[in-house]
Structure 1
Amino acid sequence: MIELKSYRDLTVWQKSMDLVVICYQLTSQFPKTEIYGLSSQIQRAAVSIPANIAEGKGRNHLGDYIRHLSMANGSLKELETHLMIIGRLGYLKEQELKVTLNKCEEIGRMLHSLIEKLSQNKKG
């Protein structure tokens, strides 16, 4: 198994960074009245995902890393909820929303797998 040298080598971090770009592109389409509301919250939740992955990887303690991955997963769930709200408000086309939520689900599965793997390493 190849040891990852950096958080930037993690596919989940790379995909999370892509999701940030998508979210910024999506929120640029929102009504200007949402600039300090949902737009801001979506952007902050999206940015928090790769930021927590990176911060956790930078910690010297496995427990801290797992905790930060859990926080990234929490931010992901927050983001999914905000996306569902904007879907209900009709701010996005259904296809755009579906594609973005699918990306969230993929990242969620990756985070879950990484947390599980690291938790097994911690026990064994």
Structure 2
Amino acid sequence: MHRFKDLEIWKQSREFCIDIYQVTLKFPEAEKFGLVNQLRRSSVSVPSNIAEGASRKSQRDFDRFLEIATGSCYEIETQLLISNDLGFLSDEELSVLQLKLTSIIKMISKFRTSLKNNQK
């Protein structure tokens, strides 16, 4: 078991979640149950899956939750691109969020690799 609060990927994904909540405050009211809801739920899913996976006894189970967190990251990226296409998100906001998201994806990938190497 890992202490999820000590994991940098959990910390970064939690901060990213706050970024998503802040940026979606500016979205149109009509999107409250559309993209706003989807982006927020997806962003909450990332640190939540990392935390849940960390509680698992086997590295294999943890890896599965990290895989789900990665899937949520790609879901977020798609939703951000659509938000930009619709003019809800500026190119600059998109760029900043994509950089942060890419960093989180890379961190998860490296952590998954280290888990697999520790299993050997």
TM-score range normalised by the length of the shorter chain: over 0.9
Kindly, what percent of the aligned residue pairs are identical? 38
Rounded Cα–Cα distance in structure 2 between residues aligned with 1:77 and 1:20: 14
Rounded Cα–Cα distance in structure 1 between residues aligned with 2:2 and 2:73: 24
Q: Aligned to 1:110, what secondary structure does the other structure show?
A: helix
Tell me by how many angstroms 1:61 deviates: 1.2
Matched residue count: 120
Among 5, 17, 20, the alignment partner of 2:17 is: 20
Q: Does 1:67 align with 2:55?
A: no
Tell me by how many angstroms 1:80 deviates: 0.6
Rounded Cα–Cα distance in structure 1 between residues aligned with 2:59 and 2:89: 39
* Residues 76-100 of structure 1, C-alpha deviations (whole Å, 9 max, x = no match): 0000110011011111121111000
RMSD: 1.1
Q: Structure 1: state its 5+ residue gaps.
A: none
**Which has the higher mean CA deviation after the structures are superposed, 40-49 or 85-94?**
85-94
Moved over 3 A (4+): none
Partner residue in 2 for 1:93: 90
Per the normalisation by structure 1, the TM-score is 0.94
